[in-house]
Amino acid sequence: MYIVFEGIDGAGKSTQIRMLKEWLEANGFRVETLVEPTDSEVGKLIRKILQRPDAQSDNVQRTLGLLFAADRMLIMDKLDDESKIIISDRSFISSMAYQEPAEWIEVLNRYAKKPDLLILLDLDVKKSVSRTSGKDTFENEQFLTGVKENYLKIVKNYEHQIIDANNGVNKVSSDIKKAVAPYLGICPDCIM
Ligand SMILES: Nc1ncnc2c1ncn2[C@@H]1O[C@H](COP(=O)(O)OP(=O)(O)OP(=O)(O)O)[C@@H](O)[C@H]1O
Ligand SMILES: [Mg+2]
């Protein structure tokens, strides 16, 4: 099973993936986690380019769109391992939510694997800004508002669960477990 976590910056993806992995392993499942961008050659290049002062310019953004698509193409084979639950921190759906133009991003990611379950951690933009220090500009808030709206539209095309990420860590975690359990045949009463 391929489970993808999505959500704006600071939504709690890394925190919640860690907690879900632990819980699934305690329930006897084998779990592998992935993060995009990956640590491949292309992923390293992406991180480097993200540091450029002109990273937000149109042409660098387009370059990043190409590289993100290439980076995820390099890990495609891993995603078909049926002996494990694969949990990914971001996916092509991040490209669709963050980058433009939509038609082009869609073409670049035509062969990207679709999630069996997409978990959207839906967080208020103001909370995102306060959880990720140092980026609290008006432009950033406006940008993230757009990304959040994009996410809410895009998820409708996939098997998905929207989780309210504004709650405390443990409440979010138990909401995620409840959402995932039916897909894995875990009894709902066993969830704490
Ligand atoms: N439910 C929560 N309530 C309050 N703080 C939280 C919650 N979940 C995570 N945090 C804190 O918010 C910050 C961002 O969380 P985390 O790194 O898990 O988010 P993320 O979605 O992976 O972010 P990024 O997109 O930047 O990788 C961390 O400092 C984390 O401890
Ligand atoms: Mg993270």
Q: What ligand is nearest to the CA atom of residue 10?
A: 1
What is the pLDDT at residue 136? 61
Q: What ligand is nearest to the CA atom of residue 6?
A: 1
- 2 in Cβ contact with 160 (< 8 Å): no
CATH number at residue 83: 3.40.50.300
More confident residue, 100 or 170: 170
What are the pLDDT digits (tens) for 76-134?
A: 999 989 999 999 999 999 999 999 888 999 999 999 999 999 999 999 999 998 898 75
Question: How confident is the model over 37-49, as a mean pLDDT?
Answer: 97
SS (H, E, C) the chain: CEEEEECCCCCCHHHHHHHHHHHHHHCCCCEEEEECCCCCHHHHHHHHHHCCCCCCCHHHHHHHHHHHHHHHHCCHHHHHCCCCEEEEECCHHHHHHHCCCHHHHHHHCCCCCCCCEEEEEECCHHHHHHHCCCCCCHHHHHHHHHHHHHHHHHHHHCCEEEEECCCCHHHHHHHHHHHHHHHHCCCHHHCC
90 lines ligand 1 (CB under 6 A): no
What are the pLDDT digits (tens) for 45-76?
A: 999 999 999 998 999 999 999 999 999 999 99
Give the strand order in the sheet containing 31-35.
Answer: 31-35, 85-89, 2-6, 117-122, 160-164
What is the pLDDT at residue 189? 72
pLDDT band for 32, please (50, 70, 90 cuts). very high
What is the pLDDT at residue 192? 63
Residue 165 pLDDT exceeds 70? yes
b/e per residue, 43-80, with b = 16+ CB within 10 A?
bebbeeeeeeeeeeeeeeebbbbebbbbbbbebeeebe
172 lines ligand 1 (CB under 6 A): yes
Residue 167 pLDDT exceeds 80? yes
Q: Which tokens belong to 123?
A: 């967080």
Domains of the chain: total:
1
Q: Which domain holds residue 172?
A: 2-190
What is the pLDDT at residue 187? 80
What is the pLDDT at residue 137? 74
53 lines ligand 1 (CB under 6 A): no
More confident residue, 101 or 6: 6
7 lines ligand 1 (CB under 6 A): yes
Q: What ligand is nearest to the CA atom of residue 98?
A: 1
Q: What percent of the chain has pLDDT over 70?
A: 97
CB-facing half-sphere around the CA of 138: CA atoms within 13 A: 0
14 lines ligand 1 (CB under 6 A): yes
What is the pLDDT at residue 155? 98
Residue (of 141, 138, 143) closest to 126 by Cα position: 141
More confident residue, 92 or 135: 92
What is the pLDDT at residue 133? 72
Q: Which of 4, 5, 9, 15 to mutate to test the pocket of ligand 1 (most atoms within 8 A of CB)?
A: 15
Task: Tell me how far apart the alpha carbons of residues 58 and 113 are, in angstroms, rounded to a whole number.
Answer: 26
What is the pLDDT at residue 69? 98
